[in-house]
Amino acid sequence: MARTTSARLRPRAKSFQESIRQFLTPEVWKQGHQASTKNIRRCRWEFQPLVMVLVLMTWSCGESQAERFEVAKAFCVISRSKQRRPGKTVEGWQKALARLPMPVLRAIAAGVRRRVAALLDLQVDGFIPLGCDGSRLTCARVKELEQRLGDANAVNSAPTIWLTALVHLRTGVPWCWRWGRGSANERQHLRTMLPLLPAAALVVADAGYIGFELTKALLKHQVSFLIRQCSIINVYTEDETPLETFRDGIVLYWPKEAQRRRETPLRLRLMCVRKRKKEALSKSQDVWLMTNVVDAKRLSLEKAGQIYRWRWENEGLFRTFKRTFRKMTFESRTVKLLHREAEGTMLALQLLLAQGALAMPRHAEKPTPQASPRKVLVEIRAEIQASLPRGRRVKFGRRLARAYREQRERLTAKERRVWPKREPHKPPMPPQILKLPDKAKAILDELKSSAA
């Protein structure tokens, strides 16, 4: 029986907890347990509430980590009312999180990725378009992170880490990602993620991902790609077609280094997407794209240009990570906690965007609307706040009387740090002591006599 245009094609989650369970299923939690490479010491913080608080803290409101921890812990206790209660302090949670093996978080992200593939319709005209891009994020300026991460782009700069993410270009949901130091190679990150791609994947990337070795790796894994080219790339054709009239054709990608190594040239397809008429007066330029999809019926020139314009979903993902989640700078002050905070934040972002994409109404004739990360986060925060207990509170005066400063004895001296782009501090010079001149003495005596 044919569906009406207003009929929904997906079931709608009735509650926030049910929406989460659509992706964090018992099978996903089981995979996380199995990924543990060592026996986790038994403590108040078991595996599941430990990860849930990590995710919920990314979604919760609060100016400090301690405030978000209290909100996340309270919601976790309510949602697991029949289970053993976790610990009470943020310090205990941090110690338990530092002992959690990183393969556990990666296994949970892989399980969520399989749920995303099962619940969402990711194909667009026979492809699953996945945009690839990277961004650098700042860490806390502490000695351990500065020694382990080093300077990425400037002397005496804050330590940074690099995030490379593959994002589905129609829903905005991250598919997989890799972390590295601030000086990491994003092309190498993409090569390590190739085995995680689905069969119909179409990798869309900018000119930062050009290169003969990366192109060979994409062809070896039988991954379709659509990558922008620039002037440092030389290709060969059988006939000399002027750049002004070239639109679409087969070329040989064969750099001089590959020729010296006697490697076989790569037969690819080069396309030129001319700027549109309404962009004639703007600063936009023609976009040159290279792909291994040589059949124009599978991927036309117009469709290639449209898919490449969708690549801005990558920029939207990093904006959500940095601005909406307020992760311009990570809070963790040790390497272990930094790795887990970064992985947990991306897992929380994947879950948030997947829930939003699944909830979008899909009709037979109208295109599926895209979820707003900010609005989805606002609704999640409203559900978290509404579920917290409204018990009797201590009077304001008593709570105010306990709001005193922490009085602890300092064990180490304060350390002066070197900050980039800041002139060194010059202490003020001592004042000049001069002898009172005779003319000033006469004026002073005159003032004293008039005052008497």
* 213-234 per-position pLDDT tens digit: 999 999 999 999 999 998 888 8
Q: Which residues are within 8 A (CB) of 47 and not within 5 positions of it... i.e. 6 or more apart?
A: 29, 32, 33, 36, 40, 100, 104
Where are the chain's structural domains? 16-206+311-387, 230-306
> What is the CB neighbour count within 10 angstroms for residue 128?
21
**Beta strands at 160-168 and 201-205: parallel, antiparallel or unpaired:** unpaired
Mean pLDDT of 151-174: 89
SS3 state of residue 415: coil
Distance (Å, whole) CA 133 – CA 228: 12
Q: Are 49 and 29 in contact (CB under 8 A)?
A: no
Q: Please state, in angstroms and rounded to a whole number, the distance separating the CA atoms of residues 94 and 77.
A: 17
Alpha-carbon span 350 to 348, nearest angstrom: 5
Predicted confidence (pLDDT) per residue in 4-61, tens digit: 333 344 556 778 999 999 999 999 999 999 988 666 556 789 889 999 999 999 999 9
Give the pLDDT confidence score for residue 8 in this predicted structure.
42
pLDDT digits (tens, 9 = 90+) for 390-449: 776 778 777 777 776 667 777 777 666 666 667 776 777 777 777 888 888 888 888 888
Quick: pLDDT tens for 436-447.
888 888 888 888
Calculate the alpha carbon distances from 210 to 219, 260, 428 in Å. 13, 19, 54
Check whether 211 has a pLDDT greater than 70: yes
Q: Is residue 337 a contact partner of residue 98, using CB atoms and an 8 Å limit?
A: yes
Q: Report residue 63 CA to chain centroid gap.
A: 20
Predicted local distance difference test score (pLDDT) of residue 132: 97
Edge-to-edge, what's the strand order for the sheet holding 287-291? 174-181, 160-168, 128-138, 201-205, 224-228, 287-291, 266-273, 248-253, 235-236
Any alpha helices (H) in 261-334, and if so which ranges? 301-309, 312-319
Q: Residue 100: exposed, middle, or buried by beta-carbon count in 10 A (0-12, 13-18, 19+)?
A: buried
Q: 322 CB contacts (<8 Å, ≥6 apart)?
A: 135, 137, 328
What pLDDT, on the 0 to 100 scale, is given for residue 120?
A: 93
Does the pLDDT at position 3 exceed 80? no
- Other CB atoms within a 10 A radius of the CB of residue 48 amount to 16
Which contiguous run of DSSP H or E holds residue 167?
A: strand 160-168
Residues making up the chain, counted from first to last: 452
In percent, how much of the chain has pLDDT > 90? 61
Mean pLDDT for all residues in the chain: 87
333-348 residue pLDDT tens: 999 999 999 999 999 9
Say which residue the tokens 């009387």 belong to: 401
Contact 166, 192 (CB under 8 A): no
Which contiguous run of DSSP H or E holds residue 272?
A: strand 266-273
